[in-house]
Amino acid sequence: MKRWLLILIVLLGVAQFIRPDTSVPAYDPAQDLLAMTKPSTQVEQLVRAACYDCHSYESEYPWYDRITPVNWWVHHHVEEARHHGNLSIWGTLAQKRKDHFLKDAPDEIGEGDMPLPAYTWMHPKARLTDAQRKVLIDFFSGLRGPDAADRDQAD
């Protein structure tokens, strides 16, 4: 075997001990978006399958997402996604953040930018049909509320 290949394998082996901290803080399940809005089972399952691995504290990491360095890349996405909108603590978010998320979500879904394409590639359960996209778009648009546009104006 080529020496560089052996070195690479050893380095990757050692790197497996260097993992991101994926623990989550304690949070109140009553503040969860789905707990608060109680949509139909169909909608709930879709939102969980398509958004919750990143935009919540309920991220599930299959084995290939736990390997260093993939885990750092995944961790970064999850941190960023939670920053933009953590649906597990929805009830505690500032109105401005909720408005922003709900305003963007339909566009992001409609354009195929959410869920992230790099994610659906490895997670077939999050690959959406056009009909499923519409269900999700309707759900998030419906949460915006009649006075959201006024608040956008006021910004």
55 burial (CB, 10 Å; 0-12 / 13-18 / 19+) is: buried
CA distance 121 to 15: 25
* Shortest Å distance, C-beta 19 to ligand HEC: 18
* Shortest Å distance, C-beta 8 to ligand HEC: 27
By the rule CB under 6 A, 139 interacts with ligand HEC: no
By the rule CB under 6 A, 135 interacts with ligand HEC: no
Does residue 128 contact residue 42 with C-beta atoms inside 8 Å? no
Considering only 10-18, 23-31, 65-73, 103-111, which stretch makes contact with ligand HEC by CB under 6 A?
103-111
By the rule CB under 6 A, 55 interacts with ligand HEC: yes
Measured from the CB atom, the residue of 1 and 131 that comes closer to ligand HEC is 131
CA distance 31 to 126: 24
Q: Which of 101, 97, 60, 63 is nearest to 78 (CA)?
A: 60
CA distance 29 to 26: 9
Count of residues binding ligand HEC (CB under 6 A)? Answer: 21
CA distance 30 to 104: 24
Token representation of residue 17: 């001990």
Out of 33, 34, 43, 81, the residue judged to bind ligand HEC by CB under 6 A: 81
Measured from the CB atom, the residue of 7 and 122 that comes closer to ligand HEC is 122
Out of 66, 75, 84, 97, the residue judged to bind ligand HEC by CB under 6 A: 84
The footprint of ligand HEC (CB under 6 A) covers 50-51, 53-55, 77, 80-81, 84-85, 101, 104-105, 108-109, 114-116, 119, 136, 140
